[in-house]
Amino acid sequence: MNVSFKAWAIGSTMLMMSATGAFAEVVFNRGNSADPESLDPHKTSTVYEANIVRDLFMGLMVHNAKAELQPGAAESYTVSPDGKVYTFKLRAGANWSDGSPVTANDFVFSWQRVTDPATASEYAYLMAPVVNAEDVTAGKKKPAELGVKAIDDMTFEVMLNAPTPYFLEMLTHQTTFPVSKANVEAKAADFTKAGNLVSNGAYVLAEFVPNDHIKIVKNDKFYDAANVKIDIVNYIPTEDRSTAMKRLEAGELDSNDDIPTEQLAELKAKFGDQVRLGPLLGTYYYAFKLDKAPWDNVKLRHAISMAIDRDLLAEKVWTNTMIPAYSFVPPGIGGYETSLTEYAETSQLDREDAAKKILTELGYGPDKPLKMEIRYNTSENHKLTAVAIQEQLKPLGIEVSLLNTDTKTHYGHLEQKGDFDIARAGWSADYKDPANFLDLCKSTAGTNYGSYNSKEYDDLMAAAAAASSPDERMKKLSDAEAIGVARDLCVVPLLHYGFHTIVSSKIKGWEDNVMDVHPSRFLSKE
């Protein structure tokens, strides 16, 4: 195809059709729960953006169809013996969509851009392992002092504060993706617009009509373009899940990243194994307000935790799209042994007996009922979960009331350390590492909604961060979880998330994985 990039990117379908005319283009209509906030990889934060940005851009490392790590923009890398310096050899021939080469300077520019406070990247903290990254983001040092440099055009070097076992895994996150320095400097804030955006991934942006669709087309400058089988991907925001299911049935969509889980049985009957379920690295939890009586009593917290029938929540409320959780860190992170609460293996009725005993010991009874309010952000499934817990606690004489607010009010209230008894929250992993979860219970963390404050825990987390070997680090993290979560219940883990997607049988190469990562370049359509 000799169509110049300009004409290509303006998104004139007609032009494209005449250029390719001879064969029918393969179009993949991909349902995505929401529009991306931004297509600037450094300003994205949600999985909806990750899906699209991953198709447009390529990081140093990439996930393949099974979410296994493989080299991307870097052809190879070397690690210094102390594990603190990574040197990446960039892939020759992996160019930007405007034909210019992706250079180490682009990476230096991009990484400095992410950490620069003026960029205000939501995920800048992800860069924390890089030397000076935290200080740059906090405005204490200049972006130029960030521990990255271009040895030559094709060699990019990163200096880390400490050996970071998950560093390579981290490079699959879109925050670490490169943007073209020339393009960003020329187009400034408008560089993400269709027609302006220059990317190095398998696809280029053709159209972005908010709330309607994002059309990306195959990038013929992509180094592996020969193996990209889908020509056009339309990302379609499908905020109404019921409509999405009908559009799928009508053939207007080929996949959707979410399903109305309450209809799972009917959907399975209708769509068969096109409905895909499996575990995901994420935890759905409740947090007690730990600095407030009576919730400062750890025995009481355990009593309530034990009385919550997680099996029932997983099976009946979430139709087995979630799994019962007894640890904060979900299973499935290699090398890490989760620390479970001690009643994880006992049966529910025994747990309830133990809970009753604690409540009686603490003097709660018919004449002194325990009152508790569950705060949650409005959503059908959060509501059903809270309602089920309310009913489960009723036989123990606990009077539960519910309070729902919209998401922003909910998290605003939690972040401001507003008053509550117990509140819902959730966390899903940015990359496969336990610290990503356990950091939430550190006394200094902004997301420590329950105000957990334990020196023992903080010390263990600090020891893990300073650990010299990956094994030691994992051990310390596991110990921290045993103290903070299993013993103290800084959070009450309820369920581990699962993905629940629906993919037409016409789409081939869709491999289920715990990161729920499915780059379009590895897919094909019949």
Partner 1 sequence: MLRYVLRRLLTAIPTLFVIVTISFFLMRVAPGGPFNQEKGLNPVIKANLERAFGLDLPLWKQYFVYLGNLLRGDFGPSYNLPDFTVAELFAAGLPISLQLGTAALVLSLVIGCAMGIYAALRQNSWIDYLVTAVATAGSTIPTFVIAPVYQIIFGLLLRWAPVGGWGDGTFANKIGPVITLALPFLAIFARLMRGSMIEALHTHHIRTARALGLSDYSIIVRHALRGALLPVVSYAGPAAAALLTGSIIVESIFQIPGVGRYFVDAALNRDYTLVMGTVVVIAIFTIAFNLIVDLLYAVLDPRVRYE
Partner 2 sequence: MSDVASVSPGRSLWADAWARLKANRAATFSALYLVLMTVVCLIGPLLTSHAFTTIYPDYVRTPPSLAPYPRADTIEKSLRDAVKRARIEISGWRQEGARVFVAVSSAKPIDERVVRYLDRSDTFEDAKVEEKSADGLKLTMSGRVEHKYFYFGTDNSGRDLLTRTLIAGRVSLAIGLLAGFVAVAIGVVYGATSGLMGGKTDEVMMRIVDILYSLPFIFFVIMLVVFFGRNFVLMFLAVGAVLWLDMARIVRGQALSLRRQEYVQAAEALGVRQSGILIRHIIPNLLGPVVIYMTLLVPQVIILESFLSFLGLGVQEPMASWGVLISAGAKNIGTADWLLVFPSIFLTSTLFALNFIGDGLRDALDPKDR
Q: Which stretch binds partner 2 (CB under 8 A): 90-98, 117-125, 168-176, 395-403?
A: 395-403
The answer to whether residues 438 and 422 touch, using CB atoms and an 8 Å cutoff, is: no
Question: What's the min distance (Å) between Cβ of 140 and partner 2?
Answer: 36
Query: Binding residue for partner 2 (CB under 8 A) from 20, 297, 405, 453?
Result: 405
447 binds partner 2 (CB under 8 A): no
Rounded Cα gap, residues 494 and 344, in angstroms:
11
Per-residue x/- track, 451-490, partner 2 (CB under 8 A): ----------------------------------------
Query: Binding residue for partner 2 (CB under 8 A) from 150, 312, 354, 445?
Result: 312
Contacted by 24, from partner 1, partner 2, none: CB < 5 to 8 Å by type:
none
Residues in the chain: 526
4 binds partner 2 (CB under 8 A): no
Query: Binding residue for partner 2 (CB under 8 A) from 390, 443, 451, 453?
Result: 390
Question: What's the min distance (Å) between Cβ of 243 and partner 2?
Answer: 10
Q: What is the DSSP letter of 362?
A: T
Which run of H or of E encompasses 503? strand 492-503
Comparing CB distances to partner 1, the nearer of 239 and 472 is 239
Sequence-distant (≥ 6) Cβ neighbours of residue 101 within 8 angstroms: 94, 95, 153
Comparing CB distances to partner 1, the nearer of 49 and 309 is 49
Contacted by 462, from partner 1, partner 2, none: CB < 5 to 8 Å by type:
none
* Beta-strand relationship, 255-256 and 203-209: unpaired
Contacted by 185, from partner 1, partner 2, none: CB < 5 to 8 Å by type:
none
Q: How far are the Cα atoms of 127, 241, 285, 330 from residue 385, in angstroms, in the given order? A: 35, 19, 11, 19
Question: What's the min distance (Å) between Cβ of 492 and partner 1?
Answer: 17
The answer to whether residues 115 and 146 touch, using CB atoms and an 8 Å cutoff, is: yes
Q: What is the DSSP letter of 60?
A: S
Question: What's the min distance (Å) between Cβ of 455 and partner 2?
Answer: 35
Contacted by 144, from partner 2, partner 1, none: CB < 5 to 8 Å by type:
none
Rounded Cα gap, residues 467 and 335, in angstroms:
15
Question: What's the min distance (Å) between Cβ of 398 and partner 2?
Answer: 14
Q: Which stretch binds partner 2 (CB under 8 A): 30-38, 287-295, 313-321, 458-466?
A: 313-321
403 binds partner 2 (CB under 8 A): yes
Contacted by 45, from partner 1, partner 2, none: CB < 5 to 8 Å by type:
partner 1
Sequence-distant (≥ 6) Cβ neighbours of residue 89 within 8 angstroms: 74, 75, 76, 77, 154, 155
Token duo for residue 179 = 């943007």
The answer to whether residues 320 and 314 touch, using CB atoms and an 8 Å cutoff, is: yes
Comparing CB distances to partner 1, the nearer of 266 and 342 is 266
Comparing CB distances to partner 1, the nearer of 22 and 188 is 188
383 binds partner 2 (CB under 8 A): yes
Of the candidates 411, 397, 377, the one whose C-alpha atom is nearest the C-alpha of residue 300 is 397
Rounded Cα gap, residues 3 and 11, in angstroms:
12
Question: What's the min distance (Å) between Cβ of 210 and partner 1?
Answer: 6
What DSSP letter does each residue of 142-153 carry, written as one string?
-GGGSSEEEEET
Region 231-290 residues binding partner 2, contact defined as CB under 8 A? 242, 246, 260, 262-263, 265-267
Q: What is the DSSP letter of 225?
A: G
Interior angle at CA 66, CA 63 and CA 67, nearest 5: 35
Q: Which stretch binds partner 2 (CB under 8 A): 86-94, 207-215, 401-409, 509-517?
A: 401-409
Region 282-311 residues binding partner 2, contact defined as CB under 8 A? 311
Kindly tell me the burial class for residue 161, based on how many C-beta atoms sit within 10 Å of its own C-beta (0-12, 13-18, 19 or more): middle
Region 157-196 residues binding partner 2, contact defined as CB under 8 A? none
Long-range contacts of 401-409 (CB under 8 A, 24+ apart): 401/371, 401/372, 401/373, 401/374, 402/373, 402/374, 402/376, 403/373, 403/374, 403/375, 403/376, 404/375, 404/376, 404/377, 404/378, 405/375, 405/377, 405/378, 406/377, 406/378, 407/377, 407/378
Rounded Cα gap, residues 362 and 298, in angstroms:
12
Kindly tell me the burial class for residue 172, based on how many C-beta atoms sit within 10 Å of its own C-beta (0-12, 13-18, 19 or more): buried
Residues found near partner 1 in the complex (CB under 8 A)? 35, 37-40, 43, 45, 117-122, 124-125, 134, 137-139, 189, 192-193, 208-213, 236-240, 242-243, 246-247, 249-250, 252, 377, 406-416, 425-428, 445-447, 449
Query: Binding residue for partner 2 (CB under 8 A) from 391, 399, 415, 472?
Result: 391
Q: Coil, strand or helix: which one is 29?
A: strand
Comparing CB distances to partner 1, the nearer of 242 and 346 is 242
224 binds partner 2 (CB under 8 A): no
Question: What's the min distance (Å) between Cβ of 308 and partner 1?
Answer: 21
Q: How far are the Cα atoms of 10, 152, 218, 422, 522 from residue 15, in angstroms, in the given order? A: 10, 39, 14, 58, 26
33 binds partner 2 (CB under 8 A): no
Question: What's the min distance (Å) between Cβ of 492 and partner 2?
Answer: 20
349 binds partner 2 (CB under 8 A): yes
Which chain residues interact with partner 2 by CB under 8 A?
242, 246, 260, 262-263, 265-267, 311-312, 315-317, 347-349, 378, 380, 383-384, 386-388, 390-391, 394, 401-406, 409
